[in-house]
Amino acid sequence: MPAGAEIDVLPRKRAFELQGTGALCKEETRAMNVALDRIDLSILSELQEDSSLTNLELAARVNLSPSPCLVRVRNLERLGVISRRVAVLNASLLGLGIMAIVEISLERQGMQARESFADTVRGITEVMDCFMMTGQTDYLLRVVARDLVELEHIITHKLTSLPGVASVRSNVVLKRLANKTTLPIDKTRPIQIHGLAQAS
């Protein structure tokens, strides 16, 4: 089998090989196991450092010819390993110099209350991250603002006023000491991915 992401899907039906890679799929299937090899991981490492690389530049960096390199990238996108490609902007230069970590607790812990809160928070543009937590705090948010006046407005008018919110506690960030967007990938160790495959 050629090198590349190898897919094993059950239950087994008529199999076909993805063009140019070792990815093996079965039609009308549900579960899949995917193995990402050294070249796949090298591609991911390069793209998460610089997603603007052209296919020719990427192929040269991973010592692969352009055509199979492009097939591998498209396969990684199809599998969801590459979820999207974005440009990381400088918030301070864009006037968003205030960042705060906001802790939120809900009055009720039911599924409906949580889903309602999550749906609403996703629509608040200043909320960059929202995490469901263990412990005393239900949610941890990362919020950006132009200044403290705007931050106060976001907290009092957009967060505290949400239905079901019991308490809100904000912590203004003084300095960001680490800001990583790259995941630690060990290219010497193949990665097994388990998930669901769509029927072709």
Q: Does residue 196 fall inside a structural domain?
A: no
Q: Does residue 160 fall inside a structural domain?
A: yes
Same domain as 95, residue 83: no
Same domain as 164, residue 105: yes
Domain count, the chain: 2
Q: How does DSSP classify residue 56?
A: H
Res 31 pLDDT > 70: no
Q: Does residue 183 fall inside a structural domain?
A: no
Same domain as 99, residue 143: yes
Taking only the tens place, the pLDDT of each residue in 140-176 is 999 999 999 999 999 999 999 998 899 999 999 999 9
Q: Does residue 30 fall inside a structural domain?
A: no
For residue 68, what pLDDT is reported? Answer: 97
Same domain as 112, residue 126: yes
Same domain as 168, residue 95: yes
DSSP of 58-74? HHHHTT--HHHHHHHHH
Range of the domain at 128: 91-172
Q: Residue 12: pLDDT band by 50, 70, 90 thresholds? A: very low
Give the residue from 19, 54, 88 where a domain finishes. 88
Are 42 and 182 spatial neighbours (Cβ–Cβ below 8 Å)? no
Pairing label, strands 31-36, 191-196 = antiparallel
Same domain as 155, residue 83: no
163 or 197: which carries more pLDDT confidence? Answer: 163
Taking only the tens place, the pLDDT of each residue in 78-126 is 999 999 999 999 999 999 999 999 999 998 878 888 888 999 999 999 9
Q: Does residue 151 fall inside a structural domain?
A: yes
CATH number at residue 61: 1.10.10.10
For residue 112, what pLDDT is reported? Answer: 85
For the record, the structure tokens of 26 come out as 């079965």
Stretch 47-52: mean pLDDT: 95
Considering the chain, what is the average pLDDT of its residues?
85
Same domain as 95, residue 80: no
CA distances in angstroms from 125 to 94, 128, 154, listed in the order given: 15, 7, 10
- Ordered alpha helix ranges (H), 133-185: 148-153
CATH number at residue 105: 3.30.70.920
CA gap 35, 24 in Å, rounded: 10
For residue 4, what pLDDT is reported? Answer: 53
CA gap 52, 86 in Å, rounded: 9
Res 199 pLDDT > 80: no
Same domain as 115, residue 68: no
For residue 198, what pLDDT is reported? Answer: 52
Same domain as 104, residue 168: yes
Same domain as 133, residue 102: yes
Q: Does residue 1 fall inside a structural domain?
A: no
Q: What stretch of H or E contains 145?
A: strand 139-145
Q: Does residue 123 fall inside a structural domain?
A: yes
Same domain as 151, residue 117: yes
For residue 50, what pLDDT is reported? Answer: 95
Q: At what angle do helices 66-79 and 38-49 cross, to 10 degrees?
A: 80
Same domain as 135, residue 82: no
32 or 53: which carries more pLDDT confidence? Answer: 53
